[in-house]
Structures are given as C-alpha cells and as structure tokens.
Structure 1
Amino acid sequence: MKKQFLFTLLAVFNIYFSYSQNTKILVLDSISNLPIKYANVNFLNGFGVFSNEKGNIMISDLNINSIEISHVSYESKKIDLNKINNSIVLLKPKIIKLDEIVIKKEKLKLLKTISLKPKIHSNYKEMFFSAIGLKLAFKINSSGNKINFLKSIEIPLFKKTNDATKDFYPEKKYPYKTLIKVEILKSIDDKPGEKLYDYNKYEIINSELLNDSFISTFEKNIKIPENGLFVVLTFIGKVDENNLLITEMPYDINKKFPDRKFIKWILPNIPITASDKNSNTFFRFDYGTESNWKQIEKPINYDNNKEYPIFDIGIGYKIDLME
C-alpha cells in the first residue's frame, strides 16, 4: 500500500514538474514598446493561443521548440524558443489599407428593417463546440436592390439547463465567460475571403447575461455589398472575473499518450441545423495545417454508421434597407 502511494506521489510530482516549467514571452510593439494584446501565437503543431491584455504568453509544453507570432497590424515573426534570450519579442507594425466605413445613415432614408430570428433548439445531438482559435463565418446576403446596412447578428446558444455536455464533461463549470473577436470578411464565390472593412471588435459571451442566444450589435455602418459579406467570430479564450484573458494551453497532454494532444473545449456550445440548400456557415482553426474554410459535415456527438447532411448555424440578424 505504501509502495503504491509512493508511486502515485512520484507520478503526480513528475507531471507537475514537467508542466510547471513554463516558457513566458512578452510581445511588444517594436516602435512604441507597448504590449500587443491578442496576438496570434501558432505553436506549429496544429494548436495555438493568443497573448493576453499585457502581451503575455505562457507555454507549458516542453515539446514546443518554435512558434510563429502574428497580428493583423504587424509583420509575423517565427521564434526559436531555444535561442530566445530575454523572453521579449518585438513585432514591427505594417501598413494595411482596407475600405473604411464612411457612408452615413443620416443622409439616407430608412425604408424598413428586416429581422430574422436565430434557429434555436435543445437537441444536444446536433451541436457544435467552441475552442481557442476556432473561427466561425456566417454569410449575410444583401436584400433587394436597396442600400443594406447590417445592424446586428444573433448567435443561437444552448441554454445552460439544456446543455448536455455538463454530464459528459463535468470539468466545464458554469457560469462561463468567453472572449470573442468579431470582424467582417468579403464574400468570394460564396466563401469567406479577405477582410472587407477596417473593423473589428472584442466582446465577451457571458452566460449570466444571456439565455439561448448572443446578440452582437454593430455601432458602425456595415454596408452589405451586392454579393453579401461574412461576419466572422474568433474564439480567443476564457476570461476571469475581471474580464481578463486567462492564459492557458489549448490542449491537455496525457502521460500515457505523450504524442497525442486532447483539445480543450470551451463554452458556449452551439446548436446546428440541417442546411436547406447551400450552407451559409463555415469554420476553420487559426492554427490548423489546413487554412481552407470548411462546412460542418457532422455534429460533435456523431454516429459512425449514420450519414449526415451539411449543417448550418442558424444565426439571426437585422438589416436596415435605405435609399
């Protein structure tokens, strides 16, 4: 019994020792020396994280030897962790020219507002998940031949009381708060393209402030082109009680399977529905080896013997028609 206890204690100690040796990095602007928050940190192993509000990164996987740090406003840089000296990484700003949102609504006449409700259900067998670095892209089409402005989008979520993952994944604690980034991309052949406008914002999905959907309202005039646009949500990570990003690894490592990485699910979980025609929902990961946008071909809890249709996330939205 004592030998078994000693063996268990040594095993726990080894795990703690291995993963408490954290590599800490500070990402700064090379000109101002100010922290760069939410920089994209690619571990080059299919996973990655984001720097927090103070520009800090923490890496607790000793098998990671190099990373690539990028940000839409800065030039990317690949870092050899074995050669880094002072744990400070400087990124050089780059000039990006995007279309600005300049059309003013007050010069136009509001004809009507079109509202579409999100598709909400509580069937956990048709569910998609959230993870650090996941991007969800939602197609918004132009309505009619008038000038269209996107006012808001509404993302369906599982109600806390109906979220079946509480039983399968008891480590998921409620309530939760998750930081997301919202941006606008072009629609190229009905797929997400490059950035359309010089616009992005960060919001927190707080389970205590919502029921079965999350509404993101656009404070600027988002004009919808004739061929539509894509609203993209990027899941940055969990935040603490002060709404500050929690620095954590995006996966767990099991000592029995050192070559396997088990992705950490974060909340919210999102209901999906079978697409009627062409899917208007796409996804990809910032850190995956494949950069192509994909459609949702099956739910997270799926049956290997069952054929599934293409799925959508049925978002709601409001559009102002102007002339």
Structure 2
Amino acid sequence: MYKIPAFLLFICLSINCFSQTAVIDSQTKHPVSYATISFGNGQGVFADDEGTFMFTKKIYPDIDSLFVSALGFKDLHISSENLPDTLHLVPYIDKLDEVVVRAKLDRKYKEESMEPYLDDDYYKCWLPTIESEIAVYFKNPDDKLKKLTEVHFPIALESKDWEKRHKSNAEKKPFSTLFKVNVYQNNNGFPGKPLTYQNMVFRVTEKHGDAFTLDVSGQDIYIPESGLFISLQVLGYTDKVGKLLPNKKYKEIKSRGQTVKIPTNFRPLLPFTNEIPENNTFIKRVFLNRNQWIQFKKGNVDDSSLIKAGLNNYGMGITFNVYKDE
C-alpha cells in the first residue's frame, strides 16, 4: 500500500484550514496548471493541475511578495498581504506566436534512438529538489527532418532494506512524484526559448523500474538544426491518484537555538554518468540566481560530489523519427 510521509499527511489534513489561491488565464479564465510561485528569497512552490497553491502567513511569515510565472504568460508580482483568492495571468501573445506550427507529415520515416544511461548506485545520483531544473542537450547530427517522439528518463530506486540495495528483487521504498518536462531551443549553447508551450507532466513511482518513457509524439516537436534541450523539473510528491500535494522545498531543523533549513530531496534519484565525453547537462535553481542556466561542469559547480567523481551528465535518452527526403 502506498504510504504518504507523516509530515505531508499532516499538511493534507490541515489544508482546509489554510488559504488556497487559484492562478487563471485572464482571457479564457482557465486554470494555469503548474505555475511557478517564487517568494524572491530562494523559496517557492508550484500550483497544481487546477492552478491552485497554498499560501498563508502561518507557514511563510517572512514572505511579503509573490512572483508568479508560467510559460506563455507575463510574470505577475503581487504583495502577499491580503492575497486574493484568484490571480490573473495575462497571456504573452508575442511569445506564443513564435512557436512553429507544422502540418502533419505523411512521409516515410525511420525510427532512431539515443539510449539512456542507466545506473542504480545511490552515490552516482542527483537528489532532486523542488528548486532545481536539469536540462540535457541533444545535437542534430545532420540536416534531415526529425520529430521527437519519446524521452527516456533514467531513474534509480532505493530498497527499503539498505543491505539489499543491490538485489533486483528487493522491496523498494514507495514514492509518487510529479515531474514537469520542458523543451528548449539552443541559444548559443544554452537552453533558450521554449519549443512548446504545452504542459508535459508525468508521475513516476517505485514500480516504473530503471527508466520512465514519456510519449511526446503528439506535441509535434521537430529537432532544430542546432539541436535542442530537454529539461526535467520535480514539482513534488503526489497522492495515490497523482494529485500534487503541498510540498515545502526545505525541512526546518532546530539546532542549538537556531533553525536550519535543509533542502527536501525527492525520490526517485536521477543517475548521472561519466560515459558521455561532452558536458551536455545544464542546471538552474528556479527560485535563485535570477533563474539562470549554468553548465554542469568543474569550475561552475565545484561543490558537487558528482563533479568530483567525474559524473558530469544526466543520462537522458530520446527516440525520434527521421523522415526520408521527398
């Protein structure tokens, strides 16, 4: 049976006592799913699929402003005092117009794949936190037209019994986590503008094995000549039916009269590899450093145990259709 951690259960049981705010499209009045709500101090939360999030001064007494953002919408800066029940985001029409729309192709194609790199070693894994987004660059090897159809995300599971962690039949720790996927253009070697404004999310549990395959064939994403970036971002834990739970990005631990904030690590773990010679992985802290991307390599991220071990890439894989010339 799936078990919700005690601190999350407490939050869920108390949710009716707290204030919920909805984020909606100012024109269509539809919910803005999975909007980012940043507090401007390195903290933040995400709205759920219905565009709602929980905020109260009891939980965040030192927050006086909220910065609300979502792909395809103008950012909203609002005071946390007397926060309204509904926030209206204005669509960014100019950005939406930049997305290239192609007709359905009725041409022969060959399916090709770049396989993911799998590993189940705890010490070779990235521990996802709510503020981190990881993007992997995939180059386009030639000028043939290519459509992205699947993305393969390596994951590592943990055994309930640490002593049995290397046994494939060992019982795994239960979890249910929601991830969000973004696809970006290549902007001079860094993730640039989105190639799609559609929300792509998936839920992964301990039952999904060594990798999760996401079908993106319906998104009509064509690989540009300069390649593309695909990113993965943890939104938080869910209930057993996939509904995003209120998640805090840190745990507060009192030590010697002081409160220490420890980032909350979410499962599953993301295995990194040393089998890719290039530095194809980029990271950013969504609520920190002005949301800027940095390349995951020595000199940029010197405090990482993964970098020190030579594990410089998240081993994501893709499948795509290569269309034959007309």
Q: TM-score range by the shorter chain?
A: 0.7 to 0.9
Q: 2:132 aligns with which of 131, 134, 137?
A: 134
Distance 1:320 1:31 in 2: 36
Distance 1:264 1:285 in 2: 14
Distance 1:187 1:115 in 2: 20
1:212 maps to amino acid? D
Distance 2:305 2:163 in 1: 14
2:112 maps to amino acid? I
User: What is the deviation of 1:277?
Assistant: 2.6
Q: 2:148 aligns with which of 144, 147, 150?
A: 150
Change over 3 Å in CA distance of 1:26–1:253 after alignment to 2: same
User: Matches of residues 214-253 of structure 1 in structure 2 within 5 Å?
Assistant: 214-220=212-218, 221-253=220-252
User: What is the deviation of 1:184?
Assistant: 1.5
**What is the TM-score of this pair, normalised by structure 2?**
0.79
Query: Retained in 1: the 8 A contact 2:35–2:70?
Result: yes
2:98 maps to amino acid? L
Distance 2:76 2:183 in 1: 25
Distance 1:175 1:62 in 2: 33
Change over 3 Å in CA distance of 1:301–1:211 after alignment to 2: farther
User: Matches of residues 1-323 of structure 1 in structure 2 within 5 Å?
Assistant: 22=18, 24-59=20-55, 60-82=59-81, 84=82, 86-95=84-93, 96-106=96-106, 108-110=107-109, 112-161=110-159, 174-208=173-207, 210-220=208-218, 221-256=220-255, 260-274=260-274, 276-297=276-297, 302=305, 307-309=308-310, 311-323=312-324
Greater alpha carbon shift after TM alignment, 43-52 vs 31-40 = 31-40
Distance 1:225 1:138 in 2: 15
Deviations 1:77-110 (A, max 9, x none): 212222x25443233333132323414231x221
2:319 maps to amino acid? K
Change over 3 Å in CA distance of 1:264–1:202 after alignment to 2: same
Deviations 1:278-301 (A, max 9, x none): 211111121112432223347998
Distance 2:163 2:31 in 1: 36
The percent identity for this pair of structures is: 24
Distance 1:145 1:26 in 2: 45
User: What is the deviation of 1:240?
Assistant: 0.7
2:237 maps to amino acid? K
**What is the TM-score of this pair, normalised by structure 1?**
0.80
Change over 3 Å in CA distance of 1:165–1:33 after alignment to 2: farther
For this pair of structures, how many residues does the alignment match?
295
User: What is the deviation of 1:186?
Assistant: 0.4
**Alignment partner of 2:24: what SS?**
strand
Greater alpha carbon shift after TM alignment, 193-202 vs 34-43 = 193-202
Distance 1:233 1:302 in 2: 20
| Structure 1 segments unaligned to the other structure (5+ residues) | 1-15, 168-172
Change over 3 Å in CA distance of 1:270–1:310 after alignment to 2: closer
Query: Retained in 2: the 8 A contact 1:37–1:53?
Result: yes
Distance 2:263 2:88 in 1: 29
User: What is the deviation of 1:307?
Assistant: 4.1
1:296 maps to amino acid? F
Distance 2:152 2:84 in 1: 44
Greater alpha carbon shift after TM alignment, 132-141 vs 197-206 = 197-206
Query: Retained in 2: the 8 A contact 1:126–1:300?
Result: no
| Structure 2 segments unaligned to the other structure (5+ residues) | 1-10, 166-171
2:155 maps to amino acid? L
**Alignment partner of 2:296: what SS?**
coil
Change over 3 Å in CA distance of 1:307–1:265 after alignment to 2: closer
Distance 2:162 2:66 in 1: 36
Query: What's the Cα RMSD here?
Result: 3.2
Distance 1:320 1:33 in 2: 37
Distance 1:228 1:41 in 2: 30
Deviations 1:176-223 (A, max 9, x none): 222122221001222211112344422212322x11011112123321
Distance 1:163 1:156 in 2: 22
**Alignment partner of 1:278: what SS?**
coil
Q: Which structure would you say has the larger Rg?
A: 1
2:70 maps to amino acid? H
